[in-house]
Chains A and B, each alone.
Chain A
């Protein structure tokens, strides 16, 4: 069949004579597992084809030439130019070819089928690109806790890498769906979805999140027009993927491809699911955060201290600085309830609830509501506090509150009669017009934690230039000063107050507030609440000797 010129007639020099290798052996070697071999003579005619080569190029015959369509064009070209190697596709196969020069103008092509290697390499490259994309997508999805922005990011990212266009349909709460579409990485449309989600097969299921569904291929002709962005062109393929959230589905991702883009394969579908899971987690985290922020805002609005109204019979000023750690939901509170008529007693309370956050806020709300109702049926401070105590007493919680109640009744000549009761709270201070500072000797048990309480109510009269200060321990326990750990303390507060004699009540509150904040410097602080009560200014200063002292009755 084939002759092997000069294959065995060269003697081995210097070596002991061995048995000559014949054509049979070489032929067996060529036919064995060394891959496809095509040998050509100097005229370019095929002189030998082994079995693997015949399997690769079934139409190629001995004495033929390497030419299309018997062999791929790139191999024919490589033979014409006598290139050392070449690579290319033939049918579904990926081949590499190496050319060896043989004696007497002969040559041979050794061919390898590298289809698998190339496929794996391509896959690996794709995986790598996907992993990089996912890392980038996660980073971008998590940059914002804003729900709207995270939905936009999901749509933009999906349309940038996975499809020609992407649509995110996500619930906004209130039974409405928000529709966002993006083309080539840019949001093109966003609105409340007025159309019926049932018009997109599989979308309702994906949005319901149960049963958990894989992505779903959709025949393009089944997609309603509203799903396809304007000017998108003919739709080639569509995939609907659920976006699972934290326990509840965050929405659904719909990927759209044009006709000239390849349809989704299984790999891409898995990838879409992975992406949708990440996007879903980000969107639902943003939704939870929005819910929490809304709750905080609602609580804050209901817990903010009242705006003090001007009154002709009483001068009032107050301030409240929430600690930075709790934002506006803090433990301190105050309330002012004027009587029905200008001559009636005004009910005031300043208090401090133990702890912080939502639980403290709930307790604060309870106390303020209970007091504002109970004061109508019980005017005695001691009994009022006992009722409040039994209302708040819980077996499972020892959260408590401390407070000062004050009743201020206008008297003749602009004087003000005060009833004051402290319950577990620093007693109020009175600054007389002459600069004397008095601590009201009221005291009592804190509220809400112990089965029985005792309280002691004190009475005094504020004359012109006198002031009564209700404050929370955030003032006296403010830590700062030279070493940063020292408490402001009663003495510093009293010294500052005695310099405030005859100052308007607003100015005194401001002075105490600035004393505290200066003491704190830049350090963190607890809630600080201040409420000042004074006889009205300007009505009677000329009529009465303003230096008269009030009297206590226990």
Chain B
């Protein structure tokens, strides 16, 4: 509605030298609203099948200007998929407005709780890839 800037996505892949865990970073720039939120969702669903369980997916939102309820809905959907795939989702570079939205809606707390639960799970069953890392 108030948008005008399209949402662009750039994908980067790195490997954590300490843990050996593969990390994928999706960098978003533009507005994430009713019109473009679907792009955020599609970008994640696009890379997700290639990510092994236990890997990290980071969404870098530092280039995102407008972020509305449709964007939040897309984030929740994305989080559902990553949780199911055993991929840890991290939000990076969220602006004040988005942080406030995550706080007021309880979505930030939910993401944190999911992450803590997954970490506890991983603690109980150490992954071979993590164990073999130098």
Which A residues form the contact surface with B (CB < 8 A)?
Answer: 323, 325, 331, 352, 354-356, 397-400, 402, 424-426, 443-446, 449-450, 452-454, 479, 487, 523-526
Contacts and interface: CB of A to CB of B under 8 A. Distances in A.
Interface string B54-78: 0000000000000011101110110
B73 A445 contact: no
Contact of A325 (B1, B74, B105): B1
Interface residues of B, number: 19
Contacts of B74: 398
A479 B73 CA distance: 21
B105 A402 contact: yes
B112 to A, nearest CB: 12
Nearest to B77: A398
Contacts of A425: 104
Given A325-B1, A398-B77, A400-B76, A450 B106 contact: yes
B80 interface: yes
B34 A449 contact: no
Nearest to B74: A398
A352 to B, nearest CB: 7
B107 interface: yes
A443 B104 contact: yes
A444 B76 contact: no
Contacts of A397: 77
Given A398-B80, A524-B1, A524-B2, A355 B73 contact: yes
A452 B34 CA distance: 25
A57 B72 CA distance: 91
Contacts of A452: 110
Interface in B83-114: 97, 104-107, 109-110
Given A323-B1, A398-B80, A450-B76, A355 B70 contact: yes
A398 B73 contact: yes
A44 B37 CA distance: 93
Given A400-B69, A445-B106, A446-B106, 20 more contacts: A323-B1, A354-B72, A354-B73, A356-B34, A398-B73, A400-B73, A400-B105, A424-B106, A445-B105, A445-B107, A445-B109, A445-B110, A446-B105, A446-B107, A449-B76, A449-B107, A452-B110, A453-B106, A454-B106, A526-B2
Contacts of A325: 1
A443 B100 CA distance: 12
A57 B68 CA distance: 89
Nearest to B111: A450
A450 B80 CA distance: 9
A11 to B, nearest CB: 92
Nearest to A455: B106
Interface in B18-76: 34, 68-70, 72-74, 76
Majority SS at the chain B contact face: helix
Nearest to A487: B97
Nearest to A484: B2
B107 A450 contact: yes
A429 to B, nearest CB: 14
A426 B34 contact: no
Contact of A355 (B34, B76, B106, B107): B34
Contacts of B110: 445, 450, 452
Given A398-B76, A400-B73, A479 B106 contact: no
A354 B106 contact: no
A524 B72 CA distance: 21
Contact of B73 (A399, A443, A453, A525): A399
A354 B69 CA distance: 5
A68 B90 CA distance: 102
Nearest to A479: B2
3 closest A-B pairs (Cβ-Cβ)?
Answer: A445-B106, A424-B105, A398-B77
20 contacts: A323-B1, A325-B1, A331-B69, A354-B73, A355-B34, A355-B70, A356-B1, A397-B77, A398-B73, A398-B80, A400-B72, A424-B104, A424-B107, A425-B104, A426-B104, A450-B76, A450-B107, A453-B106, A524-B1, A526-B68
Q: Which of B68, B97, B104 has the most CB of A within 10 A?
A: B104
A449 B1 contact: no
B44 to A, nearest CB: 12
A473 to B, nearest CB: 8
Contacts of A400: 69, 72-73, 76, 105
Nearest to B37: A355
Contacts of A355: 34, 69-70, 73
Q: Which of A356, A426, A450 has the most CB of B within 10 A?
A: A450
Contacts of A525: 2
A449 B2 contact: no
B104 to A, nearest CB: 6
A402 B105 CA distance: 8
A443 B68 CA distance: 19
A269 B56 CA distance: 68
Nearest to A352: B69
A487 B70 CA distance: 18
Contact of A443 (B72, B77, B106, B107): B106
A453 B109 CA distance: 10
Q: Which of B69, B76, B104 has the most CB of A within 10 A?
A: B69
A526 B1 contact: yes
Q: Which of B34, B97, B109 has the most CB of A within 10 A?
A: B34
Nearest to A449: B76
B82 to A, nearest CB: 13
Contacts of B34: 355-356
A487 B98 CA distance: 13
A353 B126 CA distance: 42
Nearest to B105: A424
A523 B2 contact: yes
Contact of A354 (B2, B70, B80): B70
A454 B106 CA distance: 8
A354 B76 CA distance: 12
Contacts of B68: 526
Contacts of B72: 354, 400
B99 to A, nearest CB: 14
B104 A449 contact: no
A200 to B, nearest CB: 50
